[in-house]
Amino acid sequence: MKGILYLEDGTVFYGNGFGKLGTEIGELVFNTSMTGYQEILTDPSYAGQIVNMTYPLIGNYGVSGSENQSKKVYAKGFVAKTICDTPSNYMSEKSIDEMLKSMEVVGVYGVDTRSITKKIRNAGVMKCIISNEIFDLKKLKKVMDSTEIVDKYVSEVSTKEILHIKGSGYKVAVMDFGIKSDIIENLRAKDFDITVFPYDANPEKILSINPDGLFLSNGPGDPKSIPQTVENVKELIKKLPTFGICLGHQIIALAVGGDTYKLKFGHRGGNHGVYDIERDKAYITAQNHGYAVDEKSVEENGMIITHRNLNDGTVEGMKHRKLPIFSVQFHPEGAPGPTDTTYLFDKFKDNIKNSKINEAKCKIQMDSCLEKVAY
């Protein structure tokens, strides 16, 4: 079966097709991870994108259902240099080709993925058609010209109903913008009692469970595409200790009055260096995002920069000067990638604990003042 990639600027890459027989259009991006293709495919943050893997061999250890980060693949297509049809791993249940067929994802392999990556790095991310059924360039150009990509991805990937995951510790309200299963597992590991809300849940609904903290998840697309959510978060962060990652980090930036902007080709992979300013220590992190926080805009609105990207200097983390709010651009849970920064989930728990202690002290002081007034 043949395969083709037709880029917005007219560039064409011919290869072989695999996965679902079909034609899709999306934003062409690249990921530099050496492993974790299954987690990448099932990460909802890739909604609407065609993922080009820079590592040359994909599928060698197969696919296991336990590694999925969501119930389906939201990416529009998958591109690899070479795929393995005979995986070797004791956990393997199927091949990458079988996974893409079952998840109805179009794949192309046998193309020069290095050349594709260099193209994106030089020109920036762009629209792309991936197909293993249509090879007429005039037809592909017609599809390209007549298709507009509309960023409504968060509404597609977010939960449609409120979900409760019982725990014995602090109550945490999670706003789901496309949350990965490993993030939930990291929150559960800290004994949080978790309630997952749709992305557009209003503050009244979220506060009705009397949460001790607020968690803003990862997710796809432009944070400015969900302005009402930003307004909702603006109200909630005044009342709750808050931790945001990835898209949640960008939404916090907008909620405090800052700004975000689109990167030329984004950060996607499990090998991105980040400097933790407060710890004076560098970490290798997992990342997947196409937008970044404008540093000056958030510093002018009460935020302190806590993490910085070691490749391009962009903002990778921040905290509020007075309120118990902090966020990071990378994925501390890994999946795929290193888990060196899972200490941030402990930091979130400590923030909630300290907030509770401060509330108790304020109440004692207030009660004492009232007693004196009454006397």
**Which positions make up the binding site?**
45, 219, 221, 247, 250, 288, 290-291
What residue spans of 7-146 are helical by DSSP H?
37-41, 96-103, 113-123, 137-146
User: How many other CB atoms sit within 10 Å of the CB of residue 316?
Assistant: 28
DSSP string for residues in 187-232: HHHTT-EEEEE-TT--HHHHHTT--SEEEE---SS-GGG-HHHHHH
Cβ atoms of residues 206 and 214 within 8 Å: yes
Spot the catalytic one: 27, 67, 295, 333. 333
| Cis upstream peptide for 338 (omega within 30°) | no
272 close to 330: Cβ distance less than 8 angstroms: yes
* Residue 84 designated active-site: no
Catalytic-residue membership of 320: no
Per the residue annotation, which of 246, 249, 267, 320 is the catalytic one? Answer: 246
Q: Which residues contact 1 (CB under 8 A, 6 or more apart)?
A: 16, 17, 18, 21, 132
What is the spatial distance between Cα 144 and Cα 237, in angstroms, rounded to a whole number?
A: 41
Known binding-site residue numbers for L-glutamine:
45, 219, 221, 247, 250, 288, 290-291
- Can you give the length of the chain in residues? 375
Q: How far is CA 46 from the centre of its chain?
A: 8
Q: In what order do the strands lie in the sheet with 163-165?
A: 163-165, 193-197, 171-175, 213-216, 242-245, 325-328, 315-320, 303-309, 260-276, 281-293
CA 85 to chain centre: 29
Give the rounded distance of the alpha carbon of 45 from its chain centre.
Answer: 5
Structural contact between residues 277 and 308, judged by C-beta atoms closer than 8 angstroms: yes
CA quadruple 52, 58, 64, 67: dihedral sign: negative
Residue 331 annotated as catalytic: yes
Structure token pair of residue 145: 């010209």
| CA gap 170, 97 in Å, rounded | 42
The catalytic residues are 246, 331, 333
